[in-house]
Structure 1
């Protein structure tokens, strides 16, 4: 099966299929939690992606594993899970 193509806007704003761009994910996180600075957002997204990829965690299990304030953990988990669904699960 041919991989799904992506639009030129995704080339600018989102990672290509199968890759993870922590800066892009951090920007998505900051849209939900604007009080976070960019370096902190990048660090949080890198940690979430590491757990998602190494342990297969998503959604609530990822939220619980992040060991953060519940609302922040849920936001980080939501971005990581959505990124995985959009770019890893597309077949």
Structure 2
């Protein structure tokens, strides 16, 4: 998402994006925002990269929870935070 004339991500402050990605799709920007709510030291671009990596592993290898965290090859606390966001997103949008 970009603002007219800019490249900053659109803040999620109105409508359905506050509650989750629209139409049950994976939205890396939304997931990155969810990750940053638990890990505010991360910048947006890093957060997007991490949740995209986790989502790829989740979808391609069926990994979730601790198995996904282990496969991310990150420091344990960060790996768990990333895995938690991807696993929760999958629960809400893939498992219905």
TM-score, length-normalised on structure 2? 0.80
- Alpha-carbon distance between aligned partners in 1 of 2:22 and 2:84, rounded to the nearest angstrom: 19
Find the partner of 2:27 among 21, 25, 40.
21
Count the aligned residue pairs. 82
Distance (Å, rounded) in 1 between the aligned partners of 2:57 and 2:71 = 8
Aligned partner of residue 57 in structure 1, secondary structure? coil
Aligned counterpart, 1:12 = 17
User: Which stretches in structure 1 are left out of the alignment for 5+ residues?
Assistant: 1-7
Paired residue for 1:69? Answer: 75
Partner in structure 2 of residue 54 of structure 1? 60
Query: Residues of 1 paired with 2:23 and 2:60: CA distance?
Result: 18
For 2:58 and 2:23, the matched residues in 1 are separated by: 16
Kept in 2: contact 1:26–1:45 (CA 8 A): yes
- Mark the runs of 5 or more structure 2 residues left unpaired by the alignment: 1-13
Structure 1 residues 51 and 41 mapped into 2: Cα distance closer, same or farther (>3 Å)? same
Contact in 2 for aligned 1:16/1:87 (Cα 8 Å): no
Output the aligned Cα RMSD.
Answer: 1.3
